[in-house]
Structure 1
Amino acid sequence: MRRAHATAALQFQVSGSGPDVWGWQGRTLGRRAGNCWLRVVSAAPDKAGGRLWEGTAAADTLVPRSVPRPRLRGVLDWTASDAAYRAELTEYVPVPAVTSGSPALSRDIALPDAWWSDLKTALATLAAVPTDRESVRQGWVDRNFRRFLGIDPVRVRETTTGHADLHWANVTGVPLVLLDWENWGRLPVGYDIGLLHAYTLAAPATAARIRQEFAHVLSTDAGRTGELVALAQLLQACARGVHPTLAPLIARRVEHLTGTPVPAP
Structure 2
Amino acid sequence: MPINIKFNLFDAYVASILYYSSEVWGFSSAEVVERVHLTNLQVTNVDFRPSTVKTNEITVTWSAPANYKQFIDRYTVEWKLTYYNSIAVPSQNVASSSTSLTLTRGIESGRAYTVTIISINDQTQTSSERTTSVRKQQAAKPTVTSGLDWSNSDRDATTSTIKVAWVAAAGYVSQYQVQLLDGTTMIMSKTVNSPNTHAEFPSSGLKDGYRYNVKITARSESYDSGKRVSGETFSTEFKTLAQSELILRI
Instruction: Report TM bin, short chain.
Output: under 0.3
By percentage of residues, which structure has more strand?
2
TM-score by length of 2: 0.21
> Whose radius of gyration is greater, 1 or 2?
2
